[in-house]
Amino acid sequence: MADQTPWPLPKFHFKVEWEGSELAFQEVSGLDMETTAIEYRAGNDQSFSVQKMPGLKKFSNITMKKGMFRGDNALFDWFTTNVGSAAERKGLTISLLNEEHNAVFVWTVERAFPVKVAGTDLKAEGNEVAVETIEIAHEGVTLKPA
């Protein structure tokens, strides 16, 4: 029987997978897309307004944050090996999970590659976990209910 709960889904239970590996991220943002509007007006149009049509789609870069672990340098390695057209592109899957740990929505990201990696900030008086950030560009994202 399908879930009949009228409540919105919480956003804190998700997983990120690429190339068959699951990575534990603390935060994922940038899962948005837009279509540019093309404005057009024919020279013989009797109205004094433009027509609008959908144009090219644009996708934002995706930013992901995760805790730093001893010996885990995979994000930085991926970034440093990407140069020019030889960039290693990866498929990426982001799933929003329910209470039973099953995917409810799945974002599939196509041909992703890193454009920015940021290490943690360092603070002598702090007691926070070290968090690294990776920003990836891609060539499209689709959203499907699982």
CA distance linking residue 128 with residue 23, whole number of Å: 20
pLDDT at 13: 94
- β 62-67/27-29 pair status: antiparallel
CATH code for residues 14-145: 2.30.110.20
pLDDT at 30: 96
Q: Taking Cα atoms as reference points, which of 126, 112, 24, 5 lies closest to residue 65?
A: 24
Fill in the DSSP letter of residue 94.
Answer: E
Instruction: Judge whether residue 96 has pLDDT over 80.
Output: yes
Ranges of each domain in the chain:
14-145
Task: Yes or no: say if 107 and 138 are a contact pair by the CB < 8 Å rule.
Answer: no
Q: What is the pLDDT of residues 45-77, one digit of tens each?
A: 888 889 999 999 999 999 999 999 998 888 888
Mean pLDDT of the chain: 90
Q: How confident is the model at residue 3 (pLDDT cuts 50, 70, 90)?
A: low
